[in-house]
């Protein structure tokens, strides 16, 4: 399965402002893929999913990615073997390893292949967000402040909405904003007007400033 959120930019590997990091997730677990898709796209990143590890190299060649999120335990081709293949063709791309079965052997192999982060499942969003932040800083990929703000607002709205058990359709009814617009705001794909944010804050019964999180 391949799913894409956003539009890949024709990125060059040099320090610059980027609207979003392009991330490839390689994991045969559909639930993990869907979770990472929702989380990363809500952070404002462009995300592509690849559940077939044997197709991952072709996917990497088709687009320019900044980060690969790689599961270690997959059928057909192990994550460690795929890691070696990736490094044979690209020694610069950042790689985040996910594993539910950490071991000294896989940790050592990860270090040898210059992996940026080795994360054990289940993981927290804060742990993952921190890893992405370190990679962006190390690679000289600086997210524009405006894009960071959009991502923060979108994430806050999404978390508040889910905490209240509200669907996008219910939010649409409460705010008189379209489901499409609300979805775009949550995914940081659209900048919301002050009027729209006020309607959202009212529907969520919070102060407008709460939507800006710690920004």
Whole domain around residue 88: which residue ranges?
4-143
pLDDT digits 0-9 by tens, 148-195: 788 889 999 999 999 999 999 999 999 999 999 999 999 888 778 999
Give the pLDDT confidence score for residue 20 in this predicted structure: 61
Give residue 148's pLDDT: 76
pLDDT tens, position by position, 4-20: 544 333 333 333 344 46
Q: How far is CA 130 from the centre of its chain?
A: 12
**Which pLDDT score is estimated for 200?**
96
34 shares a domain with 138 = yes
11 and 111 within one domain: yes
Pick from 114, 143, 172: which residue ends a domain? 143
110: cis peptide before it, omega within 30°? no
Task: Sort 16 into a burial class: Cβ within 10 Å, 0-12 / 13-18 / 19+.
Answer: exposed
Question: Which pLDDT value is given to residue 75?
Answer: 87
Nearest Cα residue to 186 out of 38, 33, 35: 38
Residues 159 and 196 occupy one common structural domain? yes
DSSP 45: -
SS3 of residue 201 by DSSP: helix
Q: What digits encode the pLDDT tens for the residues 104-140?
A: 777 887 788 888 899 988 888 888 888 888 888 777 6
What CA–CA distance (Å, rounded) separates 28 from 103?
20
């Amino acid at each position: 399965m391949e799913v894409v959120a956003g539009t890949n930019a024709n990125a060059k590997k040099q320090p610059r402002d980027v609207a979003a990091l392009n991330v490839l997730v390689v994991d045969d677990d559909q639930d993990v893929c869907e979770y990472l898709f929702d989380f990363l796209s809500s952070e404002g990143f462009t995300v592509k999913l690849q559940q077939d590890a044997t197709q991952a190299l072709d996917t990497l060649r088709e687009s320019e990615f900044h980060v690969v999120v790689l599961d270690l335990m997959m059928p057909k081709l192990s994550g460690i073997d795929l890691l070696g293949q990736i490094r044979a063709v690209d020694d610069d791309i950042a790689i985040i390893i996910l594993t539910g079965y950490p071991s000294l052997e896989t940790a050592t192999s990860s270090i040898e292949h210059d992996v940026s982060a080795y994360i054990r499942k289940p993981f927290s969003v804060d742990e993952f967000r921190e890893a992405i932040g370190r990679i962006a800083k190390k690679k000289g990929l600086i997210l524009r402040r405006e894009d960071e703000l959009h991502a923060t607002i979108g994430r806050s709205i999404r978390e508040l909405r889910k905490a209240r058990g509200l669907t996008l359709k219910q939010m649409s009814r409460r705010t008189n904003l379209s489901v499409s617009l609300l979805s775009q705001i949550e995914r940081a794909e659209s900048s919301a007007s002050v009027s729209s944010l006020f309607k959202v804050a009212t529907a969520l019964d919070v102060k407008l400033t709460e939507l800006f999180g710690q920004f």
